[in-house]
Amino acid sequence: MNRVSLVSALAGLALLVGAPVSWSLAQPESTVGDLDAVTRAAPADTAMPPDLDLEDAVPSLVPDPTAFEAEEPAAPPVADPTWIRLPSIGAEAPVVNVGLADDGGMEIPDDVSTTGWYELGVAPGEASGTAVITGHVDSREQGRGALWDLRRMDVDDIVTVDHADGSTSEWRVVARTSFPKDELPVADIFTRFGEPRLVLITCDGEFDPTTRSYSDNVVVFTVPVDA
């Protein structure tokens, strides 16, 4: 994903707004799990070691037969997500594909009972990178959103995603935290690198009636159950 897409995605997350329906509920602790375990993997260091022997640095004149072996066939593409289930908080919702809106921000479904998968990134279950599913927390007109209780998910909770080809992928929560919207680690979340993850995002924090926006984003990090 290029820098423009990252900035656009961040701008779009600011649209995850609503009007507080009943924010007087007791709030869970802001962070659970090990956030160090879900940071983006750094690219491998390709620098030549300083003590490399010249013999090792010069390729042999004898052809390496393994160089001509057939490459492994590419893995089939992962089917788009169509439904998400969060049994620990009693939530489930359809998933629709979203990209960039006309204003350059990330699209968010108008229907708060629907979630959106950022199709310009990776799909849940691809071999590497982080898939992102977002949704509104609530709306003055529509009430609570599908991800209203996302801030209550805990480590080892299970997330189930149905795919368009009839398959299902299962994910386990490893961490949950909240970020001020202007501090959301976009480059760590919207990435094609690192181990496969699924990240869920919605609004959190205080509601500003002037901007009609919440102050924070709650972010849930999950990994494949069989990881």
Domain at 3-33+79-224: CATH architecture: Beta Barrel (2.40)
Q: Environment class of residue 173 by beta-carbon count within 10 Å: exposed (0-12), middle (13-18) or buried (19+)? A: buried
Bigger pLDDT: 55 or 136? 136
Average pLDDT, the chain: 79
Q: Residues 128, 75: contact at Cβ < 8 Å?
A: no
C-alpha to C-alpha distances, 50 to 4, 42, 43, 123, nearest whole angstrom: 37, 21, 20, 40
DSSP line for 175-203: EEEEEEGGG--HHHHS-S-SS-EEEEEEE
Predicted confidence at residue 166, as pLDDT, reads 97
Of 129 and 101, the one with more pLDDT: 129
Tell me the mean pLDDT in the region 168-191.
92
pTM of the model: 0.76
* Cα 189 to Cα 40: distance, rounded to the nearest angstrom: 8
pLDDT interval class at 61 (50, 70, 90): very low
| Among candidate residues 136, 79, 141, the one with its CA nearest the CA of residue 106 | 136
